[in-house]
Structures are given as structure tokens and as C-alpha cells.
Amino acid sequence: MHGRRGAGTRVAAAAALVLLLGACSGPTEPDPDADPDPAASSTSSEPSAEPTVPVADPAHAVDPPGPRKDRLWSADVLVQWDKPLDDATVKQIKRLKGVAHTERIGLGQVSLENRVLTVAAVDPAAYRLFTRSDVADLQEAWDRVAGGELATDEKVARRLADDDGMIRLGLDDSAPSLHVGAYAPQVPTIDLVVNTAWAPDIEMADDNGLLISTDGTTPASIRKPLERLVGRGASVQMLDVASRLGLDPDAKLTAVPTGGTLGSLVGTYRYRVLGGGRIAPDPDWVAANIRTEVVPILGSVTCHKDLFPQLRAALLEVQQRGLADEIHPGEYAGCYYPRFIAGTTTLSNHSFGLALDLNVPGNQRGTVGAIDRDVVAIFQTWGFAWGGDWKYTDPMHFELAEVKRPG
């Protein structure tokens, strides 16, 4: 791995930036907290007189950024809307006192193994200026993003990449899979970075977010005028706070899930952080989407309204096939839970009421699980994904992956 660094960045820890080159295999260790394998190797044994810019996916490539020439900017504020920005609003933001530099990006949320992660669609040349200096000057990383690959933190990749180093961005079978081109720390609250050519395939906007640098001015000083300007529908996060706490606790946060199934069912999900891992979703969203109904075997459950037809159909088939005793109502751990995944600031599909946990004691994380495989197959037939199929297994977990309406 090689990347140009200025004199002031040579002390940066190069080991923190690991490239996955060519078609090399991704991580195979299922434990997401295990130490990563030492880094990657080139697939070519022939030295090249001229460095080449890797293009993994010509259909999703943008112009390579070339060496960095412009100055770096601090990533101080991130604004997310649920629709593309208009030019007039951006101009007004640029005129606010304390705003030094801005960059439009696309922002969306993808569900990957029950973790709702933020993906940014960016111009690699402009976005890199908001990353820390050693990341910004890792030339090959941004060449690879421009060439159609994905950049993410190494821990995310270890958890989610398959043996070929690919990550599928969404629940649907048709969701695109991208090769992880670089492990590199990103702007706070952003988990995955792709170039803007990927935005249509991921079903996300490429200009509904704005990165803001205050360049020495305290970011909090622009919060109120910025919030007045962007309106109640936008999320305004102070990234200096997010880098310490995981999220800005004073922000009204927004998730805009991408992809056919999740995007169509959830829509725009706004929430606030309450503390203790709990969140408060927008009451109007809850009123429009969350219901308590009676279903076979389990009895009364609280879920997203659009989950019930398929959940009821799956449980009815389990019952009709004489497998009802394989599901234990006393070991059901719920469906709609407005809170983060334990120990994180990450939403799960339980936050939307689109997942449920069955037979919890015998089906813990990282195990093959004791749940009856015929029950699993029935749920899968009715459009549910099973956590037992994941790289880091969660066999109690079922989540809606495909909309199917009983006939």
C-alpha cells in the first residue's frame, strides 16, 4: 500500500489504512472484533513504468481525482434532507456567518445484516478534502472509489464483506454488490462511500446532503441560523460532537432508507436521541405505520403495518404444517423497538417494526441456532431474510426483505 503524504502527515499510522487490491479475497473471520489480516497484495507480478488508475466497474466509474492540490477542510456540520437540495438554499447557507466551505453529497441509509448504515454518494476529489489528512492523501483509495469500488472503515468491512470482498447494499436480491476498494476512516456518521454514478442503482439521491466546514468557528454557533434556513424537515448534525459521542444528541436525525422494499415501506424516518440507547421517532410516522394486532401462535404483537400480511401468512403455514410447537411464544423478543442496537448508535430494522426475534434462548448471536429449519424455510418463502444466513449469525432474527402479498 502506497499513498503520498505531506511532511506534516508522515507520522500518521499507515496501518490504519489498508487497501483491498484487485480481486483479492475479503476477510473470512466471522468475529467482527477479530484483528484484521495484514493487508493486501497486488494481483500483478509485473512492475509498471507508469502508475495506472484501477477501474473495477467501468459502468459505474467517474473521472479519477488525480493528486490532491486543494487545501483540506474540517468536517464540522452535516445536513441531510429527504429530497435533493435546491441551489437557492445552498447559496443562502454559503452566505451564513461562520460557513467557510460546503460540498454537496448524496446520503441514504441501507440495511445490512440488521444494521442501518449511512452511505454517501460523492465526488471523490471534493469529498476527500473533508477527510483527515492521511486519508485524503491516500491516492489509491480515491482512485478506487472513482473506479466504482467502495470505501469504508475496516471494522464494517470485516463484518459485512463476503469472501470476495463484496458488500451488497440493501436487502433486496436486486441490490447492487460493490467491491471494497479501500479501508479508510470516513467523515463522522458516514459508514460507506461510493461515487455518484452508483446513486441510481442504490435508489438514493446524489445531492440531498451538505457537508459544511466552519474552519475554526465553533460549529454550534451556526446551528440555530442553519436550522431556521433549512427548515424542520432537515437533519442538522454537529460532527465535532458526533465524533465523540457517535451522534449529535441535540439533532433531529433523519434516515432515508434506500432500495425497493425498505425504502417503499419506511419512507423518511425522523427521530431524536433520548439516552440509554432509546430514540423517539416522529409521532406522525409512528401513528401512520405502527400497529398492534393478533397473529397465529404469537398472539398480540406490535409491528409495522405492512409486516402483518406476510407474518400472518408465514405463521399460519407453520401452524398448518404441524410445526406450531417449534415456535415458543414465551421466547418471542419483540418486533418494534425504537432504540439503537445495544452498545451502538446504529438503528436496526426493529426501529421500523420490520423485524422480529423468535426462540431467543437457543438462537444467540454467532451460533448456528436451534430453530427448526422448516420454520426458517417457510419464513423465507414469505419474504423474510433469516439472520442465520449472515456472516456473523443471528438465528433468532427474521426481517422483511421482500414484499409478498398472500393470494
* Residue-wise pLDDT tens digits, 150-171: 999 999 999 999 999 999 998 8
Strand-pair partners of 176: none
Cell readout for 348 is 436496526
How far is 139 from 151, CA to CA, in rounded Å?
Answer: 12
How far is 270 from 255, CA to CA, in rounded Å?
Answer: 6
- Domains recognised in the chain with CATH numbers: 7-24+38-43+52-263 (no CATH), 282-400 (3.30.1380.10)
**Residue 240 pLDDT greater than 70, yes or no:** yes
Query: Residue 36, Cβ neighbours under 10 Å: how many?
Result: 14
pLDDT band at 214 (very low <50, low <70, confident <90, very high): very high
Cell readout for 271 is 427521530
**pLDDT reported for residue 9:** 37
Q: With H, G, I as helix, E, B as strand and everything else as coil, classify residue 106.
A: strand
Greater model confidence, 37 or 278 = 278
Q: What type of residue is 97?
A: K
Output the DSSP codes for 112-142: ETTEEEEEEEE-HHHHGGGS-HHHHT-HHHH
**pLDDT reported for residue 11:** 32
H/E element, 303: strand 299-304
Flag the least confident range among 191-195, 243-247, 371-375: 243-247
* Residue-wise pLDDT tens digits, 339-392: 999 889 999 999 999 999 999 999 999 999 999 999 999 999 999 999 999 989
Per cent of the chain over pLDDT 90 is 74
Q: What type of residue is 310?
A: Q
How far is 366 from 390, CA to CA, in rounded Å?
Answer: 9
CB 272 within 8 A of CB 253: yes
C-alpha closest to that of 252 among 238, 263, 266:
238
CB 212 within 8 A of CB 200: no
How far is 35 from 265, CA to CA, in rounded Å?
Answer: 37
The stretch 4-33 carries a mean pLDDT of 40
